[in-house]
Amino acid sequence: MTQQKLRTTAVLDVRQFIDEQPFSRFQLLVAILCGAIAFMDGFDAQSIGYVAPALSSELQIARVALGPLISIGLVGMMIGALVFGPLADHFGRKPILLFCILTFGVMSLVTATANSIESFRIFRLITGFGLGGAMPNTIALTSEYMPKKFRATAVMTMFCGFSIGAAAGGFIAAGLISRFGWQAVFIVGGSIPLLIALLTFALLPESIRFLLLKGGHQDKVKKYLLRISPSAPVQAELSAGPDEKKSSGFPMKELFRHRRALVTPLLWLMFFMTLLNLYFLQNWLPTVMNDAGIKIETAIMITTLFQIAGVVGTITLGRLMDKHSNSAFKILAGAYLGAAISVFLIGESGVSIALLICTVSAAGFCVVGGQTASNALAADYYPTSIRSTGVGWCLGIGRIGGITGPILGGILLGMGGGARRVFWVAAIPALIATTAAFAVAAIRKKENVNEN
């Protein structure tokens, strides 16, 4: 009998089936919708960095006080990732995504009405809940729909939406703030997510493997399989995969079982250090360059190159990791090492526009590309039953680094010593992330040897 005929009379492993199919328009739809969510996630998450100078001037906020104000949204994102990741593993990716999109869309609109530091802080905190909860679920859902040979590239390309959204925020903010004030940035950042929420409700499917593990959704799964491939043998009994099992315990405990006890803390360390770098650079680069004497419009435009180069780095690293999947964490470690070097060199660039363009772009390629690669590798590492929990907790712990970055930047700048010392210090977290990635690579290699 042919393999196709065997499938119709036996159990169909949907993960293997998806891996064997060519990339379909239905899977592209999933990636595009998740990418649109990530786009607005990036736009809203980084909007505070772009409006910070105008906000500081209008509300009379000192530079040192800007750090905690920037970080409050990251506190919300941390809580959102930690809470909504496990909830999605219980209730499903789609309903949690819808709730999160509506939360950050509505609260972004409300932020435009803030007239004091206190109200602004509260609104940004609640906005962060939605932003933080959306990201692990876009990553998990995209990963679960993509064939293995394109998975890293697809997840990382989808998440380019975050970088593009953050970069677009710079161009949009530069025009909106001068004409309509900082409030206009949040009005735009709140209106579009409400439209995306409608499209998500109408078009985005639930995770196939989640539905199978939950049970009672065979007909819905068969419908999704037929949209991936009209030749899907849907009369077969369906399985999420031979090693996929419904979680029988507390999701957090599962992150440390089955040889994950060493890798999970190392992933957390990587995310912490990379997001510290990422949010420090994204939130303080415009202000640091402006304080050095570069016009704020020019400083914002240079900062957008950080995100644009990040898109290039993301796609490049994604293809490398798909082609050399056994060396994925070594490739990631190389990106982190490049991040440490380029961040150090930003401090050596002074007020040279040409040098800043080169060093900021190189940092974006390595920092943003490396962080997005971490998302894809974490999603691939954890099984379906705890995938959103695993990615959510990586991002949640990482957000602590994201919170620390802007605060650390404010403290360092307040102490004086110039940009050189600030960026020397900022290179250290990237070196720590490099070490953690090499350690994971060594552990994974040893596991593969033991299995063989």
pLDDT score for 438: 95
Looking from the CA of 167 toward its CB, the CA atoms found within 13 Å total 18
pLDDT at 8: 43
Give the DSSP letter string of 423-452.
HHHHHHHHHHHHHHHHHHHHHHHHHHHHH-
What pLDDT sits at residue 64? 65
**C-alpha angle with apex 94: 91 to 100, nearest 5 degrees?**
95
Structure confidence at residue 321 (pLDDT) = 92
Whole-number pLDDT of residue 63 = 64
8-state DSSP, 417: S
Burial class of residue 416 (count of CB atoms within 10 Å of its CB; 0-12, 13-18, 19+): exposed
Q: List the domains of the chain with CATH numbers.
A: 12-242+250-451 (1.20.1250.20)
Q: Which residues of 345-370 are buried (b: 16+ CB within 10 A; e: fewer)?
A: bbbebeeeeeebebbbbbbbbbbbbb
CA distance 395 to 163: 16
Q: Which stretches of 109-149 are assigned E, i.e. beta strand? A: none
Interatomic CA distance for residues 246 and 243, integer angstroms: 10
- 374-392 as b/e, with b when 16 or more CB fall inside 10 Å? bbbbbbbbbbbbbbbbbbb
CA angle centred on 51, ends 285 and 45, rounded to 5°: 80
Annotate 163-172 with b (16+ C-beta within 10 A) or e (fewer): bbbbbbbbeb
Q: Give the separation between CA 443 and CA 446, rounded to whole angstroms.
A: 5
Residue ranges for the chain with pLDDT beneath 50: 1-9
Please list the residues that pair with 238 across neighbouring strands: 12
The pTM score is 0.82
Under 8 Å between Cβ of 276 and 404: yes
3-state SS of the chain: helix, strand, coil percent to 5? 85, 0, 15
Cα separation, 235 vs 11, in Å, equals 10
Best CA proximity match to 27, nearest among 205, 241, 163, 210: 205
Distance between CA atoms of residues 130 and 52, nearest Å: 21
β-bridge mates for residue 239, sequence order: 13
Name the nearest CA neighbour of 75 among 339, 399, 439, 413.
399
Of 240, 254, 213, nearest to 382 by C-alpha is 254
101: nearest Cα among 72, 76, 134:
134
